[in-house]
Chain A
Amino acid sequence: MTTTTITTKSVRIEFGGGLELLFANQKSHKVDLPGTMVDGKPTNVHDLILWLRDNLLKEREELFLDKNTVRPGILVLINDTDWELEGEGDYVVQNNDEIVFISTLHGG
């Protein structure tokens, strides 16, 4: 008899710049992500974004997503670092990571 261990990753998600309005007006979320996706690959930020769309996003998907990635003008920080320095959507999410989504929907 074999035992299958399902790993999850606990990740803290923060929304800023008005983006929290799309997520039940809640700025901070603690979520448990599956360690791997259906295809066996480790969960990355791209998978997280789609997971947020399917599980936490309450309204106006077009203000958060554009072609399965974050809409232009939304800044993503992974542990206080620009996701462009971490490989953007390909960054593999680690346990206890903090990922922040900040919107530039405001004007000047």
Chain B
Amino acid sequence: MSCGTAAEIEGARGESMLMTKKPKHDRSNACVKCKENGGNIVIRHVVYCKSCFDPFVKHKFKKGLEPFINVSGQKKAVLKPWGNLTIGFSGGLGSTVLLDLVKRCYYSSEEVDEKKGNNPRNDGIWKKVTVCFVDVSEVYPEALDETSQVAQYIQGSYPTFKFVPVRLSDAFDKRWWKAVRGGPLTTSDFGVQLDPDLALRILDASSPTPLESLQTYFRSLPTQTAAHSSIQTLVRVLLLHVARSTDSSHLLLGTSLTSLAISLISGISQGGGYNVREEAQEDWMPPPTLKEGKERAIRLVRPLRDVGVKECEIYAWWRELKVVGKHKWPGGGQSIASLTKEFILGLEKDYPSTVSTITRTCAKLVSKDQPSGTCSICQRPLQGGLDTWKSQISIRSLTEVTPARSVQDLPLSSLTPLLCYSCQGTLTSRSSKSVSTAENGATVSLPVWTQAKLLDQEAMKGEIEEFLLSDEDE
């Protein structure tokens, strides 16, 4: 009996012994919707023709957005948000598709239902639309600044939308903070030492520029994973603050189903399981400002979270949309996010339904307890009792086992109690692939919103001034 390979057996018998390929669709090649036209695209085993594909995507987009426009409890027959709209635009595929869908569904007279006429429900729901682009090229010197191409694209294709460019270094810029929030920070700069205790420091009076602060921050991060994660966090929080400054009730991001699955899995891998629901959608309450009026929660929605990347691709191709962003971030090949992306894309190719299972399962997860606050860096819910739990599960040193340290034992000037588990790991987690070029435990500046939170805590302020060491004292 031959134990040869299929090719050897095939050669011997002159016939193929390989299993015949299963078709990638469930029934015939005809469109499942109209049942008349031949299919043009297969989406998770379902066949659509070109004519039926467009309304299919629009329906999914609206389903992912419209239920979340009104404040809970209000009737949904009329879409009435309390504020304006901000759209986060990265130049990538998802945000390009998102912009096009927003314009077509709510700001275009071209899309008129033949039977019903122009639906007033769809007329310019938000009074003002702002498109915000965050340039991240400052992190990598060899990356290109795409702001001008993006500006040209937005102003050419969406002239009624306001374009607001932001730089990643604005996260460390007091002038930007004053412009979006009102009121200056103190003259002191809080920094954090990137050691296991995350000790707070007062930085030199001669503050570096925002760009220098940003680059020092990223140079000091321990891993490529930490850098990638930090970029995502800073971009998201910058967008939230821009949305706040434009009196927006909604911030839309173009995260597709595939991208969402990638960020869910990679986020959980980095300890972000407590905020899994926020990864899909979140209501963010801005901290109080000097401006008059009560703050209202801004809803961050990802309307394309049920639209896979394949659907986005084919939509953009058939609509002839130009994708201006190239996103070649150097040095990210070995990060958790990159490895997860490879895994998910492979999974989507072989088992397309599995990717939507990931997002649906994560949407069902609910945390056991109420959050004890908000993380001062990522602005997401903070899990209570974190330090006690960490001290029970982690061993600091193999040579000496020290008694478990509770949060009371930490220096009062530590940032740790104000961070979620994921952000703590981002700043302190080290591996054999550590890439930090700075010395171990370098002191870096903190994002402006973190500094503002530190100042807002009146009781901590007095204790910090008593215990903090300035750089001159070391």
Contacts and interface: CB of A to CB of B under 8 A. Distances in A.
Interface stretch (A4-12, A31-39, A43-51, A97-105): A97-105
A75 B310 contact: yes
B256 interface: yes
Interface in A51-108: 72-73, 75, 77, 80-82, 84-85, 88, 100, 102, 104-108
Nearest to B88: A108
Nearest to B318: A80
Contacts of A18: 323, 326
A104 B93 contact: yes
Given A106-B323, A106-B326, A81 B254 contact: no
B47 interface: yes
A75 B314 contact: yes
A75 B42 contact: no
B234 to A, nearest CB: 15
The contact size tier of chain B is: 35 or more
A104 B41 contact: no
A100 B317 contact: yes
Nearest to A16: B317
B259 interface: yes
B95 interface: yes
A63 to B, nearest CB: 10
A105 to B, nearest CB: 7
B34 to A, nearest CB: 16
A59 B23 CA distance: 33
A81 B348 contact: no
B92 A106 contact: yes
Contacts of B256: 108
B317 A108 contact: no
B39 interface: yes
Contact of A108 (B38, B41, B95): B95
Contacts of A84: 23-25, 42
Interface residues of A, number: 21
Contact of B317 (A88, A102, A105): A102
A52 to B, nearest CB: 19
A21 B42 CA distance: 27
B323 A73 contact: no
Contacts of A77: 314, 317
A102 B325 CA distance: 15
Contacts of B25: 84-85
Interface in B41-55: 41-42, 47, 50
B215 interface: no
Contacts of A105: 327
B471 interface: no
B127 interface: no
A17 to B, nearest CB: 6
Contacts of B310: 75, 104
A64 B400 CA distance: 51
B160 interface: no
B196 interface: no
B121 interface: no
Given A18-B323, A72-B349, A75-B313, A107 B92 contact: yes
B259 A107 contact: yes
Interface string B20-34: 010111000100000
Contacts of B92: 106-108
A106 B93 CA distance: 6
Residue from A17, A18, A100, A108 with most neighbouring chain B CB atoms (10 Å) = A108
Nearest to A84: B24
Nearest to B98: A108
A104 B345 contact: yes
Contacts of A80: 40, 50
Contacts of B348: 72-73
Interface in B87-110: 90-95
B131 interface: no
Interface of B: 21, 23-25, 29, 38-42, 47, 50, 90-95, 253-256, 258-259, 304, 309-310, 312-314, 316-317, 323, 325-327, 342, 345-346, 348-349
27 contacts: A16-B317, A18-B326, A72-B345, A72-B346, A73-B348, A73-B349, A75-B314, A80-B40, A81-B38, A81-B40, A82-B39, A82-B42, A84-B25, A84-B42, A85-B47, A100-B317, A102-B317, A104-B93, A104-B345, A106-B93, A106-B94, A106-B325, A106-B326, A106-B327, A107-B90, A107-B93, A108-B93
Given A16-B317, A107-B93, 14 more contacts: A17-B313, A17-B316, A72-B346, A72-B349, A80-B40, A84-B25, A85-B29, A85-B47, A100-B317, A104-B258, A106-B93, A108-B94, A108-B255, A108-B256
